Chain A
């Protein structure tokens, strides 16, 4: 079964702190790993994505780290802000197998 396991389920971080969300996948054929951000009442929006030939990708305060041998990838949000409070989904593959989501709360 193609699964993506995401942790933690919820995360509370102080403003200015680092938020870290982890995902693990099983299918070695996956070759695309996006992260989506979803605010209440909105559809998911692509935040950042990585391909397995790269170990890290950074866009502003958001960084994906990718470990192909461990079949794991993670999202790091530096200098977390209250406006980052949302649900984050990792996904894998072109058919977007989603993780279960992480509800991030950044306290002011």
Chain B
């Protein structure tokens, strides 16, 4: 099973809302990633968790707050977002977070901020 699941598929939120995106994998992977993808653009790395610890934060604004409750789950908490944060948010995982590992992507959550 090489599946990464993400919920919800779509999310509409106002700028004062608080919401969370969820990601789950059962491949035994120990590295998990959040990416942001705007239309017709490549994915941009936001955060990397390795063995449930945040290892990379690509200078993402604090209105995005990641959380890794266990090795299978990854959350992205959203608060006070801006309309320009509307995008496809992708979760990915890899075996150990080492170089040259295949990253497996989920289908993404399409977020619209009004």
Chain A residues, CB < 8 A from B108: 42-43
Quote the shortest CB–CB distance from A2 to chain B (angstroms).
12
Stretch touching chain B among A66-74, A75-83, A90-98: A90-98
Closest to A39 in B: B107
Number of interface residues of B (CB under 8 A): 19
Known contacts A98-B42, A99-B42; A46/B107 CB under 8 A: no
Number of interface residues of A (CB under 8 A): 24
Query: Which chain A residues (1-57) contact chain B, with CB distance < 8 Å?
Result: 31-32, 34, 36, 41-46, 49, 51
> Bound complex: CA of A95 vs CA of B48, how far in Å?
10
> Bound complex: CA of A42 vs CA of B103, how far in Å?
14
Q: Which of A41, A43, A93, A94 contacts B4 (CB 8 A)?
A: A43
Chain B residues near A (Cβ < 8 Å): 4, 40-43, 45, 90, 92, 98-108
- Nearest 5 pairs of A and B residues by beta carbon: A43-B105, A94-B99, A98-B42, A32-B100, A44-B105
What are 27 A-B interface contacts by the 8 Å CB criterion?
A31-B99, A32-B100, A34-B102, A42-B107, A43-B90, A43-B105, A43-B106, A43-B107, A43-B108, A44-B43, A44-B90, A44-B105, A46-B103, A46-B104, A49-B102, A51-B100, A89-B42, A89-B43, A91-B42, A93-B99, A94-B98, A94-B99, A95-B45, A96-B103, A99-B42, A100-B41, A101-B41
